Structure 1
Amino acid sequence: MGCQGGGVDELAAVAHVLRRTTFGPFPGVAEGLVGRGAAGAVEWALGAKALRPVTPEFDEDVEAGANGPVARWLGLMRDPGAGVHEKLVWFWHGHFTSSHDKVETWELMWRQHVVLRRHAMGNFRELAHAVTVDGAMLQWLDGAGSVAAAPNENHGRELMELFTIGRGSYSQQDVRAAATAMAGWTVEDGEVGFVREDGNGQAVQLLGRGVVNVHDVVDVLCDRPECARFVAAKLHYYLVGLPASEQRVDELAAVFTQARWEIRPLVEAILRDGSFATAVRTRARYPVEWVTAAFAVCGIDDPELAFGTMTALGQSPFYPPNVAGWPGARWLDPGAAVARAMLAVDAPVIREIAAAKDPGAAVFARAGIYDPTPATETAARDMAFALRRDAEQAATGLLALVLTAPEFTLA
């Protein structure tokens, strides 16, 4: 069951890059990059243009309508031309979290999505400023309606603990100061406003510096060395799949600081390092990654079904479970294997696979698996032989096997 087109090692290396920098690899994309190698695939992913979504229809009674926010986003995730930018939109959604479970309208959630999309590969400081006074975030973290005389501390605490400098880098007094300076914002009828009388009028001390308003707070936090380290370490794990060593965090934090909080140089430093190339299948694919890739392999185009499948596996776009985002779970519950395999039943691509000269090779290629383990390759060969009298049944079995194989469920 050999690979089709291009050297096995090159295709496997390119597929690794695409698993980490896109929601694929989608059928045919790795083959289209043959000759560029892994380094060229990185450059392709970095150079891919940011995709622009069409404004969705907002229906509060429908979570995943054909033209709603979820469908619009999933459509961009599965676009073969999507590169690192699209992957970073998802990363920031799990970092600067807000959920429609609490946020009043889809319009507010979509506006925040546009903010994350605008700054996904831009400047972290600008992103932090924009999202901190975003309407969805103000509602999600109880910043809306907070008054300086008796501020709600939730927004300020999470801004420090989860978004910028991390736990243990501040005191309760700092939380109180941040909350006081961040007060005065409102969200009424979907519009963000500021009530001067409810805001702060004099400097308070935050981490040894005076702050008066929310933007002072964001600047103080971004200036802290802990911020560069916190963001660099989290982004490294997302892209590499392994925790960075203290030395590596120091190196990446230095890149980030010297770039004045520009995100792209940090991403480039991570992707071009040798540690990225060798960290193959070091973490589970997140449900949103697995579903998007699996639907492409199966030839399924159904955003509502995709959303339902992601949700069943533990992730729902626009619905993170809490302010910390999705937990660092393994995502590989054995009980979900049957549900994953069921996608193969009546998949639109079955006839194409069945008609292939080598159905096993065709399935592996569609799934972007160019380096199957001997165990997986043997299982596929045995299945193809056992079901050889019914080509479509054999194709279905091969597809189900590949969708649940470690080579596909790991990133």
Structure 2
Amino acid sequence: MDESAAIAHVLRRTTFGPFPGQVEALARQGAGGARGATGVIESVLAAAPLVPATPVFDEEAESASDGPVGSWLRAMADPAAGIHEKLVWFWHGHFTSSHDKVDTWDLMWRQHLLLREHALGNFRELAQAVTIDGAMLQWLDGAGSIALAPNENHGRELMELFTLGRGNYTQRDVRAAAVALSGWSVDDHGSVAFDPKSGNQRAVELLGRSVTTVRDAVDVLCDRLECARFIAAKLHHFLVGRVASEQRVTELAAVFTQARLEIRPLVAAILRDPSFVEATYARPRYPVEWVTAALAVCGIGNAATAFETMNTLGQSPFYPPNVAGWPPGNQWIAPGTAVARAALAVNAPALPEIAGAADPVAAVFARASIYDPSPGTRTAARDLAFELRRDPGRAATALLALVITSPEFTLA
């Protein structure tokens, strides 16, 4: 793999790019004081977190450029974004809440800011905070749960999906966790409060340890080796694109445990391992990732177009389908999605640049940051350019549609 292709690979996995011209700029400057993929890995790890503008909470204009989705998409599309922005997205798919059930955008945005605060911080602190977050309490029916008759949904998902994984607890543990998590409420103004009268006041046994409060329960879960393994395996799959071997999970869990569940050392261990750079095109570019990159390649900066396309492809911020989040898998790049993807090329602002290039094929590949096209993709592009050579505008549209629907662009 040449240097440009390696840089593009790192950016596809650790950011929402690469964006036009970004790979060339990083190659020229020797990102992070080193060349190629190694330098870019260190650069994205060191990049400062972005601070999105506070959105307008208009329930009738969720896809507006100044709404919650638009504000987050601008951060995703910022070339200055590093791994932090990608981790905000990862945690949104892990500690899920959806505006389909959560009352207000204000609550959803507060949770978003919470994920931003802890995205590369300490997992224990993140789990403690999100467990009593207003949006999460509404989403998992934790709001209004009382110790004498607790709602078990919150406690079950905290263990199964957020900390331990399936099979690492019993129904008795679910009941104990539910009791410890009881007593919290969210009022009409979005304020979260604990009521000692309805909350738990007695010790219960959770996974062999005595707990009374939310903090006690989350500490017990985070202290389990199963938690370190579960989070390490899930982050590895997300960043590398492949299921980690048992040995690799053990190694990463040890890193995570020794770091006292600090997320940054775990992420760094995943990215710095040779397996990360070697695993090219190993997973789909999920719709939010693909749309953000494709809009930049096409020169489109319209939040409504982004939101509409993401919805068509089945994924949009703040609307996970269920508490398990968005599933991994190749269903995201099913052939039936190609038409919706290709539609972005029609009348795209970038077409004149491609049509006016001395070599439109080279220009469109460069704009899409594809430096290692397969022989099949390269031949298809050359054939299209030749067939439509007398109509540069039409050729540019066809080439752009071909490239953004190619395996090299729809995979990460």
TM-score range, shorter chain: over 0.9
1:37 aligns with 2:36: yes
Paired AA for residue 162 in structure 2: F
What displacement does 1:27 show?
0.6
Q: When the two structures are superposed, what TM-score results if normalisation uses the length of structure 2?
A: 0.97
Aligned to 2:11: 18
Paired AA for residue 196 in structure 1: P
What displacement does 1:65 show?
1.8
- For residues 203-249 of structure 1, give each alpha carbon's deviation from its aligned partner in whole angstroms, at most 9, with x where no partner exists: 10000000000010000000000000000000000000000000000
Paired AA for residue 107 in structure 1: D
Aligned to 1:80: 79
Aligned to 1:132: 131
- For residues 167-187 of structure 1, give each alpha carbon's deviation from its aligned partner in whole angstroms, at most 9, with x where no partner exists: 100000000000001100000
Once the two structures are superposed, the pairs formed by residues 94-133 of structure 1 within 5 Å of their partners are 94-133=93-132
What displacement does 1:188 show?
0.3
1:278 aligns with 2:307: no
Once the two structures are superposed, the pairs formed by residues 3-402 of structure 1 within 5 Å of their partners are 9-34=2-27, 35=30, 36-189=35-188, 190-330=190-330, 331-402=332-403
1:403 aligns with 2:404: yes
What displacement does 1:64 show?
1.1
Paired AA for residue 31 in structure 1: E
The count of corresponding residues between Structure 1 and Structure 2 is 404
CA distance in 2, matches of 1:242, 1:295: 27
What displacement does 1:390 show?
1.1
Q: Secondary structure at the match of 2:281?
A: coil
- For residues 115-168 of structure 1, give each alpha carbon's deviation from its aligned partner in whole angstroms, at most 9, with x where no partner exists: 000000111000001100000000000000000000000000000000000110
Provide structure 2 residue ranges, at least 5 long, that are not aligned to the other structure.
none
Paired AA for residue 188 in structure 1: D
CA distance in 1, matches of 2:398, 2:46: 37
- For residues 31-87 of structure 1, give each alpha carbon's deviation from its aligned partner in whole angstroms, at most 9, with x where no partner exists: 111142110010111111100011111012222122110000000000011110000
Greater CA drift, 209-218 or 353-362: 353-362
State percent identity of aligned pairs.
72
CA distance in 2, matches of 1:231, 1:86: 18
CA distance in 2, matches of 1:334, 1:144: 42
Q: Secondary structure at the match of 1:197?
A: coil
What displacement does 1:197 show?
0.3
- For residues 9-35 of structure 1, give each alpha carbon's deviation from its aligned partner in whole angstroms, at most 9, with x where no partner exists: 100000000000000110111111114
Provide runs of 4+ in structure 1 moved above 3 Å.
none
CA distance in 1, matches of 2:170, 2:73: 40
CA distance in 1, matches of 2:91, 2:167: 22
Greater CA drift, 342-351 or 62-71: 62-71
What displacement does 1:393 show?
1.1
CA distance in 1, matches of 2:145, 2:349: 53
CA distance in 2, matches of 1:366, 1:259: 40
Confirm or deny: 8 A CA contact 2:354 2:360 kept in the other structure.
yes
CA distance in 2, matches of 1:173, 1:95: 24
What displacement does 1:332 show?
1.1
CA distance in 1, matches of 2:109, 2:156: 24
CA distance in 1, matches of 2:118, 2:65: 26
CA distance in 1, matches of 2:118, 2:341: 34
Confirm or deny: 8 A CA contact 2:47 2:81 kept in the other structure.
yes
Confirm or deny: 8 A CA contact 2:98 2:318 kept in the other structure.
yes
Q: Secondary structure at the match of 1:44?
A: helix
What displacement does 1:377 show?
0.5
CA distance in 2, matches of 1:219, 1:58: 34
Provide structure 1 residue ranges, at least 5 long, that are not aligned to the other structure.
1-7
Paired AA for residue 349 in structure 1: A
Paired AA for residue 340 in structure 2: A
Aligned to 1:3: none
Q: Secondary structure at the match of 2:92?
A: helix
Confirm or deny: 8 A CA contact 2:283 2:329 kept in the other structure.
no
Q: Secondary structure at the match of 2:333?
A: coil
Paired AA for residue 12 in structure 2: R
Supply the RMSD in Å over aligned alpha carbons. 0.8
Greater CA drift, 243-252 or 322-331: 322-331
What displacement does 1:108 show?
0.2
